[in-house]
Amino acid sequence: TQLLEQSPQFLSIQEGENLTVYCNSSSVFSSLQWYRQEPGEGPVLLVTVVTGGEVKKLKRLTFQFGDARKDSSLHITAAQPGDTGLYLCAGAYTSGTYKYIFGTGTRLKVLA
Amino acid sequence: GAGVSQSPSNKVTEKGKDVELRCDPISGHTALYWYRQSLGQGLEFLIYFQGNSAPDKSGLPSDRFSAERTGGSVSTLTIQRTQQEDSAVYLCASSLAWLGEQYFGPGTRLTVT
């Protein structure tokens, strides 16, 4: 069974601090996405990474895909209260047919 | 343009009853996906459609679950003889093409009493 494990599971930090969220698997993914989900809403896609070693930046968010395409990280610089939410990584792989799995999630709270 | 919509937004049903959950994808999106998100747990992939076809139904939790899509648009997820463990938020997403960027609806919160 494919599994995407995220760490930490919960994170509470002060405004202005930096943080990193990790997404790890023992399996190789053809692509990996990061989403943010707020209460009562569906996840919203932040970024897709495809190439091993790829780094993408989205304002204060930096995403990296591991060289072996088994892991990824999300780094937030100078966190703001608006960054509060559930961060989810997700990956696509084929096992006879298409499968798409989500990570276990990291719930981030940024305190003003 | 309109995003993905789901109805109802909330559903409370008694154990043993059947429920139908509806998803209206973004117009023109050929791929549609159903997920389940239980309290304190991540999203569980249930089934996807390419057009009206669901190539793999192995992600459905049991044979009480079924899904269909008609006209390449609206999809319905049906749960028969609901059980308490079926309580969860059921999310639908659509993408322009298979493996494309997925846009999620707000979900249907199902509570089985």
The pLDDT tens digits of the residues spanning A43-73 come to: 999 999 999 999 999 999 999 999 999 999 9
Residues A7 and B30: their CA atoms lie apart, in Å, by: 34
Chain-centroid distance, C-alpha A50 = 14
pLDDT of B84 reads 96
Residues B64 and A81: their CA atoms lie apart, in Å, by: 42
Q: Which residue of B has its CA nearest to A4?
A: B42
Q: Say how many domains are in chain B.
A: 1
Query: Does B104 map to a domain?
Result: no
B35 contacts chain A (CB < 8 A) = yes
Q: What is the pLDDT of residues A66-106, one digit of tens each?
A: 999 999 999 999 999 999 999 999 988 777 777 788 998 99
Query: Does B102 map to a domain?
Result: no
Query: Does A112 map to a domain?
Result: no
Q: Is B43 close to A48, i.e. CB distance below 8 A?
A: no
Extract long-range pairs of B52-59: CB within 8 Å, 24+ residues apart: B55/A97, B55/A98, B56/A96, B56/A97, B56/A98, B56/A99, B59/A99
Radius of gyration over every alpha carbon of chain A, rounded to an integer in angstroms = 14
CATH number at residue B42: 2.60.40.10
Domain that holds residue B63: 5-97
Chain A residue set in contact with B, beta carbons under 8 Å: 31, 40-45, 48, 88, 90, 92, 96-105
Chain A, chain B: beta-carbon pairs less than 8 Å apart: 49
More confident residue, B40 or A9: A9
CATH number at residue A88: 2.60.40.10
Q: What is the pLDDT of residues B45-90, one digit of tens each?
A: 999 999 999 988 888 999 999 999 998 899 999 999 999 999 999 9
Q: Say how many domains are in chain A.
A: 1
**Position B40 confidence tier, pLDDT thresholds 50, 70, 90:** low
Nearest to A80 by CA among A36, A110, A39, A50: A110
Residues B93 and B35: their CA atoms lie apart, in Å, by: 8
Q: Is B91 close to A42, i.e. CB distance below 8 A?
A: yes
Query: Does A1 map to a domain?
Result: no
Q: Where are the beta strands (DSSP E) in chain B?
A: 5-7, 10-13, 19-24, 31-37, 43-50, 65-69, 75-79, 88-95, 103-104, 108-112
The pLDDT of residue A1 is above 80: no
Nearest to B64 by CA among B20, B13, B111: B20
Domain that holds residue A93: 6-107
C-beta atoms surrounding A11 within 10 Å: 18
Nearest-CA distance A79 → chain B (Å): 24
Query: Does A57 map to a domain?
Result: yes
Q: Is A42 close to B56, i.e. CB distance below 8 A?
A: no
pLDDT of B100 reads 82
Query: Does B29 map to a domain?
Result: yes
Radius of gyration over every alpha carbon of chain B, rounded to an integer in angstroms = 13
